[in-house]
């Protein structure tokens, strides 16, 4: 999952980035409301964390602008103010949820999981294909009920992205969009490296290989014969 964090206070932004990266999110940070649309047009963000009080353009106006442009990704508002009109305004501007500062990073990540569920293929914390199950809260995977070797943050992020689009070919660019941030160096072999290490943990020694390379196109996760 890739998140754009719109927050102008450097300390707060750094705390959020650290907390989210520990949870395997790919994070970009922008501090000026007027720049948000440019970022969103450049990358495929899964979720936007949006502070209300911002230089350039306030969060409410940013939210209205994104919705007016047709962007439908979940938006979670961050606000220092805890008054009813602010909450109502935030939701009316097109946000899906709001969180009042100060907050615990655990609450933030739980809200993000809830938003991803609302938007995603599964209404539970688990993503699955065949006998593979990934728990998005504990970040642990299992096959046929047997826990697999622990995943690194990037392996987890890659597996989660594939599982959110089961039986669908994802191109390299689509994978980069959801798993890496703006610091990704184009032309690098990182995707191949992580697909390789993920296969070792998911598919090695198993009759049914779930991660498939689609030559010239990208990768898909699914059963060999997708159920009709």
Interface contacts to Ca ion, rule CB under 5 A: 8, 51, 53
Residue 58 or 152 with smaller CB distance to Ca ion: 58
CB of 102 to Ca ion, least distance (A): 13
SS3 (DSSP) at 156: helix
Task: Classify residue 20 as exposed, middle or buried by CB count within 10 Å of its CB (0-12, 13-18, 19+).
Answer: buried
CB of 13 to Ca ion, least distance (A): 9
Q: Count other Cβ atoms within 10 Å, centred on residue 14.
A: 13
CB of 59 to Ca ion, least distance (A): 8
Q: Which residue has the tokens 């949870």?
A: 23
Residue 53 or 114 with smaller CB distance to Ca ion: 53
To the nearest 10 degrees (0 to 180), the angle between helices 84-92 and 59-68 is: 20
Strands (E) located in 86-169: 97-100, 126-129, 132-135, 141-143, 146-147
Residue 29 or 191 with smaller CB distance to Ca ion: 29
Residue 226 contacts residue 167 (beta carbons within 8 Å): yes
Which residue in 38, 35, 31 sits closest to 10, CA to CA?
31
Residue 33 or 94 with smaller CB distance to Ca ion: 33
Residue 16 or 116 with smaller CB distance to Ca ion: 16
CB of 5 to Ca ion, least distance (A): 11
Distance of CA 188 to the CA centre of its chain: 21
Which residue in 79, 70, 62 sits closest to 4, CA to CA?
62
Give the whole-angstrom CA distance, residue 208 versus residue 228: 18
Nearest-CB residue for Ca ion: 53
Residue 51 or 96 with smaller CB distance to Ca ion: 51
């Amino acid at each position: 999952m890739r998140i754009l964090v719109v927050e102008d206070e450097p300390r707060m932004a750094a705390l959020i980035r650290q907390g989210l990266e520990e949870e395997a999110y790919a994070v970009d940070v922008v501090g000026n409301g007027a720049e948000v649309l440019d970022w969103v047009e450049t990358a495929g963000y899964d979720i936007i964390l949006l502070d209300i009080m911002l230089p350039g353009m306030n969060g409410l106006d940013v939210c209205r602008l994104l919705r007016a442009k047709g962007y439908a990704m979940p938006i979670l508002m961050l606000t220092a103010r805890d008054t009813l009109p602010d909450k109502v305004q935030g939701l009316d501007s097109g946000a899906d949820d709001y969180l009042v500062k100060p907050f615990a990073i655990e609450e933030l990540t739980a809200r993000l999981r809830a938003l991803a569920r609302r938007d995603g293929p599964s209404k539970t914390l688990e993503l699955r294909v065949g006998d593979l199950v990934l728990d998005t809260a504990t970040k642990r995977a299992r096959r046929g009920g047997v826990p697999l070797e622990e995943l690194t943050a990037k392996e987890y992020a890659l597996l989660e992205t594939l599982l959110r689009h089961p039986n669908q070919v994802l191109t390299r660019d689509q994978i980069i969009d959801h798993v890496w941030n703006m610091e990704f160096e184009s032309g690098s072999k990182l995707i191949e490296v992580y697909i390789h290490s993920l296969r070792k943990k998911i598919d090695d020694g198993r009759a049914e290989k779930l991660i498939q390379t689609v030559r010239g196109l990208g990768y898909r996760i699914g059963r060999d014969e997708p159920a009709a």
